[in-house]
Structure 1
Amino acid sequence: MEERNQTSSFFLLWGLSDRPEQQHMLFLVFLWLYLVTVAGNLLINLAIATDTHLHTPMYFFLASLSCADILFVSTTIPKALVNIQTQNRSISYGGCLTQLYFFLTFGDMDIFLLATMAYDRYVAICHPLHYRMIMSPRRCTILITVCWTLTNLIAMTHTLLTLQLSFCSNRMISDFYCDVEPLIRLSCSDTKVNDIAVLLLGGAASLGPFMFILISYIRIVTAILRLPSAQGRRKAFSTCGSHLAVVALFFGTVIRAYLFPSSSSFNSVEEDTAAVVVYTVVTPLLNPFIYSLRNKDMKGALGKLLRGQVSFLRGQ
């Protein structure tokens, strides 16, 4: 097949329904999901910033997770909304690679932050007397910096390797955003290096943090079960409940969407699309609600923030 000039080419994002009667509903649903996700995560950040009781490592990492979620959904949903509204599924070559880079950066950032938050809970429960010394502001800043550095390096590696690929006549991407594996499948050049990078870097960026979280919580549960007081055990479990719920939701959808794709039948493709939508859209939406509904301190801070806003509006 004839290769084309990459910089002047485009791809077609074909991951959502092509039925005309569903376009208006899809636009409204995606717009609503995006606005609620951004608003919910912004409220989390404002509540943490304005309440001094929440100026602790746990909420520092939660604020970072909320920022990453806002950026994560902003990488894919606005373009999807434009494509739905204009009925034009194309994305430029440069736009696709840019979206790929930021999608990988913020998606992997979520994974690394969840692992960092598991470490924070491990230190808080297993080493409570040394918690403030271990989780000092300096160490928290270093942990966040390491997370951002690693995710940017992984995303940059995938993007540069994708930049070396040649694409021919088939430009149809099965998702509604640009991802590594769909682009590799479309390439008509040798993709061995890209496949190895997906295997090694993908495994390091997902399996590594997941195993770290698993080991951390095995040690946390072991430490909690040794507590003599039932009330103390309940309190310790409650401090981990929100994080565990987010971890289960996030990795559950990632495993369904990427590790266990369905067959190529029409119904199975629709199921895969639904799983990807849950991972890329619904999970960032639910994170702020999970943390706020299961956490008394967060609910109190959000209540103060909203009451303050109401009072301010009335004062005007």
Structure 2
Amino acid sequence: MSIRPHLPSEYVDYLTVQGLRTSRGPVQLNTYVSTSRTRFPLAYQANHFFQTLASGFTDSELDLTPSGGRTHAWSSTRAARLFPVNMANARIEALRALEVVRAQIIAGAGRTSEWRHVFTGQGRPDDIIAVMNLMVAHPALLAGAPGSGDDSLGHFLDRGELTAAGLNQMVQEHVFGLDCLGFVGTYLEWIGAVPRVPESEVANYARHQRMTEFTNLSEITPRTVLLWDATVDDRGHDRVQHIAIVDRVQSAGEREAVVDICQSSRGGPQTNRGVRLVPAAGGGFAMRGHGDPPAPVSRNINRLAKHPRWS
């Protein structure tokens, strides 16, 4: 497997400046999204709706039963609630549009199996683009999604269409985005360094990718992975696990390293330049300078890991 030479900061630039090349034009992916239903309700809603669509539906009154695959019974009453339109032919048109989309999903099941990651912060850019283009081509998907007003996916439509502005607004309202592992994992996939690790978590990502942990800051290199373990602070507050990756090394010695790091956290995918790392009392590494802009996760780093083939 050949590895592309692009650094993490170039991936940040691709996502947040150049933007994803959708059928409506570039969309900047510059936000953080995770599986949290309370923090990201629209992403959760979109994920649930697309999973329901992928599993199929039936409507005996309109005779729109899928020809194959699993089915999910949607009664006429249920369909009317999902597609709140006044005219029967408009409802039929919406349901037929969904059936066309579902057929496409079945036909491309291999790739589409990854779509469930799109709304959970771990989608590949190509898969995010594919879902965005699907929404553009079939705006009935958004019009028919549950919810009302600003709590529905339909409010991103402009006169029944999903425009470039609507797609960018979906990012700003956290329908699409990347979490910390989504950023690091898709970057390493993007350069051809690693395959996707199914359902991986930060805690075991380095092990699954056969990285080697080390404790001497003088060994730090570009693409070294920084790992924060889940802990509880002195006040009993949970500190969640986190992952970031080194972009460039400005200097490195046993007692201090100055590096640029890339991550997705509060503020979305970003590069933090000039972060100073020193050994911490009791193990791990402390930040003595949080970089520019300041790194959003500034507590002690627990572990460093790298792979000999691409670090």
Q: TM-score higher than 0.5 here?
A: no
TM-score range, shorter chain: under 0.3
User: Which of 1 and 2 has higher RCO (CA within 8 Å, sep 6+)?
Assistant: 1
- Bigger helix fraction: 1
